[in-house]
Structure 1
Amino acid sequence: MTALVILVGFLLSLPSMGCLKNDILRLNIKKEPNLDPNTVCKTYPELSQTQYDLCRKYPDVTASAIQGVQIGIHECQHQLRTHRWNCSSLERKNKNPHASPLLKRGFKETAFAYAISAAGVTHQVSKACSLGKLKSCGCDMSVYGVNRDFEWGGCSHNVDFGEQYAKRFMDSKEMARDIHSRINLHNNRAGRLAVIRNVQKQCKCHGMSGSCELKTCWKAAPNFREVGDLLKRKFKAATKVQIHIGNAASGRLIKQNGRRPRQSDLLYYQKSPSFCEPNNRLDSPGTTGRLCNKSSDGVDNCGTLCCGRGYNILKVRRSERCNCKFYWCCYVECQTCTYNEWVTVCK
């Protein structure tokens, strides 16, 4: 029964277009191992020359990296969903989110977007290696010490390769060596560290009737929601820095108290705007039309999110899947239920 419940949950969790679909490139990487470099490299715009060269040489790895950026932006939207700037402007079909004007500034929000994107690339490439989807890498076959309780085996996620490719692919855009580039490089590294420092051990039992006479374990990248939660905490505690002594290329990044930041800190150097009104120069849509919570004490309360403009109460119709039934084997049929509800929307 437990296995059946897990299978039903898995099937319900699959997106309608397939869980391996790359929404930006419109590729199913698992079914297209021999990718045409032009399909990948010319579909995803505004790559730097180094990124384009990497893409031409490793189109399958780059396709997974681009999918990782997409996963990172989706997680950014989830983590900042109650904030005035909620990452929505970064998700554009067939467009590179790093081309957004906001990511050319030094805000806390910029730091989070860079870190979560770098984490997404590290995570996705690491998993793709272990799934046998990429020609350039496979499982991490390292043995992490001897343990009497279990044996190392299975197919560990190749986080070393994922981290290295994320560094090459993401950092290559930061060639200026000014304070903006240096901070972007730092935040990219913080994103990668959020994955590689939280690799987890997963195990499977072997034996008669489900006994655990022998246990095989492997290393796996953390669930990406856990990575997002970690980086959200880093976002809340982000550190404002400046260059100390020398020029931007040689000086040290220091906090306002004179101390050097940690590698895992998120850094910024510009105060964020209010994000209340639309601002095309920052690619910020403002908060008009956003749902707010009039009874909340958090940043999504109507007073804060609506920036004092007030809100409207509207009746809306919402549809969702319901009364789902699992049929052996292996599909799920659901009805569509429609609800009428009242919502509060910023003026």
Structure 2
Amino acid sequence: MSYRTTRTGRALALPLIPSPDGDTRAREEEGTCPESHRGEAAADPPSNPGLAPPGGPGAPGRERALTRGAQAEGDPAARAAVLDARTPDRNNLPGPRGPDQALPSPAACRGRGGGGGSPGPPGAARTEPAVAGGLGPSALWDPGGPSSLWASWAGHGSPAAACAQDARRDSGRRLLQRATRRRRATMRARPQLCEALLFALALQTGVCYGIKWLALSKTPAALALNQTQHCKQLEGLVSAQVQLCRSNLELMRTVVHAAREATKACRRAFSDMRWNCSSIELAPNYLLDLERGTRESAFVYALSAAAISHAIARACTTGDLPGCSCGPVPGEPPGPGNRWGGCADNLSYGLLMGAKFSDAPMKVKKTGSQANKLMRLHNSEVGRQALRASLEMKCKCHGVSGSCSIRTCWKGLQELRDVAADLKTRYLSATKVVHRPMGTRKHLVPKDLDIRPVKDSELVYLQSSPDFCMKNEKVGSHGTQDRQCNKTSHGSDSCDLMCCGRGYNPYTDRVVERCHCKYHWCCYVTCRRCERTVERYVCK
């Protein structure tokens, strides 16, 4: 490799390029100029900077540079270039050229020609055929041709400048093509990307931290829950609930029981509906039917709040919690022939501790929108209000031979399934609300009846429920296919409503049950086992 210095002190490496007529010519490329040659380069500029191809005016200075570079490096190719520089070059003259006088094409100049050519030793420029890229000699030297070397060299002053300009043009073209391919790929993937982003956004904006604790229903029985480090092993708890677990460790067995009871009560209450509360068993990873502010999530929030308070109040009565005891004696008279006694359910303690635990996630900052927080806190309070309404007087008879001359009474809660049935009625008449400013703060107001406030006893929701007729896991719908329906019913479990008009298929089932039971003195019952065939129906 040899060098030619320029006015700026830079050097041009001159590899050899074979031409069709057998001679060789140096091709200029940018390289590094030795320090000893920079002075001579400034003193020996090319005499014709506009058109100075190899062998033209200014060749003596170039010859001296080539000679010194060849002597310094011992490069045979550079010495051959020196000999070629001493020979007059016919291509230096303007005008048309014959086939035997064609110069290398721009592709050959860039070292990317379409023909054969040798890569050469390491560090040396690659040699290419003189005619490459499918360009003929006449096209190369046609001054008006779009690909002629004559036009390229004449506009830039040297083959190196023309090659550099050509390389920059090709590099820009490749970058543009690459960007175009990326843009097209992005456009093709944009619909799927948008759908995924919307789905993720819906999950993030409606995260239901308030009922993730229902995952405690899956807590294994082997977990003792008698040490504070066990609180971290419980699934679905936020940090505030973990702290409550550590400070009230004896309470967690009751909370686990409440989660199981809430799951069973929800499934039982909606067994005859299109939405059968099956997604509650996916806790803590719910589907969108419970992630969003739907009517279904309103019911589950209310039921879960009622379930935990119900379980704690009952645990105080049975003595399972050392921190509480029986409920207080009512202040009103029990009625004629009755007296207060027994052990009442400690509803006040149950409501206090239940609200602390179930409402803790909604009171943490950055857990969804303010509208969702207000909706969930409101529905949780509706659940506790329904639990208060279930408190009733229960009595037990005392007397000789069961005469019930005296009755001992106390205040007790109804079963959770009865509370769930009450909440289901409120679910069917729930009110859709919007989050609007009223005065200095925003409140939940009915969407269709803005003139009245929301009642404390009614469930509210922000978004309409999805269509539960067809299966769609993205919106939390399992569909009603293969669901059992009642052909003779006119309610929500009827085949017309349950199957969404798709029809139903009948099948027969054999049922084994106890029959012909008889009581024997004293004191046992004997029964027979009977089989009968029943006809059932499932949705198509």
1:164 equivalent to 2:332? Answer no
- 1:71 aligned to 254, 261, 276, which one? 261
What residue is the counterpart of 1:345 in the other structure? 538
CA contact (8 A) 1:243 1:252 kept: yes
Residue segments in structure 2 that go unaligned for 5+ positions in a row: 1-215
What is the Cα deviation at residue 291 of structure 1? Answer: 0.8
1:15-58 Cα shifts (integer Å, max 9, x gaps): xxxxxxx96335499xx8x734555x455412111112212222
Q: Which whole-Å CA distance do the structure 1 matches of 2:325 and 2:526 have between them?
A: 36
1:306 equivalent to 2:499? Answer yes
Q: Which whole-Å CA distance do the structure 2 matches of 1:181 and 1:320 have between them?
A: 49
1:281 equivalent to 2:474? Answer yes
What is the Cα deviation at residue 316 of structure 1? Answer: 3.2
Residue-pair matches, total: 318
Q: Which whole-Å CA distance do the structure 2 matches of 1:187 and 1:333 have between them?
A: 49
Q: Which whole-Å CA distance do the structure 2 matches of 1:140 and 1:183 have between them?
A: 31
CA contact (8 A) 2:289 2:297 kept: yes
AA matched with 1:237? S
Q: Which whole-Å CA distance do the structure 1 matches of 2:321 and 2:517 have between them?
A: 36
- 1:46 aligned to 236, 239, 263, which one? 236
- 2:388 aligned to 185, 196, 200, which one? 196
Q: Which whole-Å CA distance do the structure 2 matches of 1:326 and 1:124 have between them?
A: 36
What is the Cα deviation at residue 325 of structure 1? Answer: 7.6
What residue is the counterpart of 1:112 in the other structure? 299
CA contact (8 A) 1:106 1:180 kept: yes
- 2:246 aligned to 51, 56, 61, which one? 56
What is the Cα deviation at residue 226 of structure 1? Answer: 2.5
1:109-131 Cα shifts (integer Å, max 9, x gaps): 11111112211112111111100
Task: Give the structure with the larger helix fraction.
Answer: 2
What residue is the counterpart of 2:453 in the other structure? 260
Greater Rg over alpha carbons, structure: 2
Alignment of 1:296-335 (within 5 A): 296-320=489-513
AA matched with 1:25? T
AA matched with 1:157? D
What is the Cα deviation at residue 82 of structure 1? Answer: 1.5
Alignment of 1:79-90 (within 5 A): 79-90=269-280
What residue is the counterpart of 1:138 in the other structure? 325
AA matched with 1:113? V
Structure 1 residues 294 and 27: CA distance shift in structure 2, 3 A = same
Q: Which whole-Å CA distance do the structure 1 matches of 2:524 and 2:248 have between them?
A: 36
Residue segments in structure 1 that go unaligned for 5+ positions in a row: 1-21
Deviates more, 1:316-325 or 1:187-196: 316-325
- RMSD, aligned CA: 3.2
Q: Which whole-Å CA distance do the structure 2 matches of 1:210 and 1:293 have between them?
A: 43
Q: Which whole-Å CA distance do the structure 2 matches of 1:76 and 1:117 have between them?
A: 9
CA contact (8 A) 2:269 2:417 kept: no
- 1:240 aligned to 432, 436, 439, which one? 432
CA contact (8 A) 1:199 1:222 kept: yes
Q: Which whole-Å CA distance do the structure 1 matches of 2:255 and 2:221 have between them?
A: 13
What is the Cα deviation at residue 103 of structure 1? Answer: 1.7
- 1:122 aligned to 302, 309, 319, which one? 309
What residue is the counterpart of 1:251 in the other structure? 442
What is the Cα deviation at residue 315 of structure 1? Answer: 2.7
Say which SS state the counterpart of residue 91 (structure 1) adopts: helix
1:37-82 Cα shifts (integer Å, max 9, x gaps): 555x455412111112212222332321232232222222222212
Q: Which whole-Å CA distance do the structure 2 matches of 1:333 and 1:50 have between them?
A: 55
What residue is the counterpart of 2:408 in the other structure? 216
The answer to which structure, 1 or 2, has the higher relative contact order (CA under 8 A, 6+ apart) is 1
Say which SS state the counterpart of residue 251 (structure 1) adopts: strand
CA contact (8 A) 1:73 1:113 kept: no
Q: Which whole-Å CA distance do the structure 2 matches of 1:184 and 1:333 have between them?
A: 51
Q: Which whole-Å CA distance do the structure 2 matches of 1:332 and 1:23 have between them?
A: 36
What is the Cα deviation at residue 323 of structure 1? Answer: 6.2
Q: Which whole-Å CA distance do the structure 2 matches of 1:110 and 1:238 have between them?
A: 11
What residue is the counterpart of 1:184 in the other structure? 376
Q: Which whole-Å CA distance do the structure 2 matches of 1:342 and 1:46 have between them?
A: 42
Structure 1 residues 293 and 192: CA distance shift in structure 2, 3 A = same
- 1:231 aligned to 423, 426, 429, which one? 423
* TM-score, with length taken from structure 1: 0.80
AA matched with 1:316? D
Q: Which whole-Å CA distance do the structure 1 matches of 2:349 and 2:516 have between them?
A: 43
Structure 1 residues 207 and 298: CA distance shift in structure 2, 3 A = closer
What residue is the counterpart of 1:24 in the other structure? 218
What residue is the counterpart of 1:16 in the other structure? none
CA contact (8 A) 1:24 1:67 kept: no
AA matched with 2:291? K
- 1:151 aligned to 330, 334, 339, which one? 339
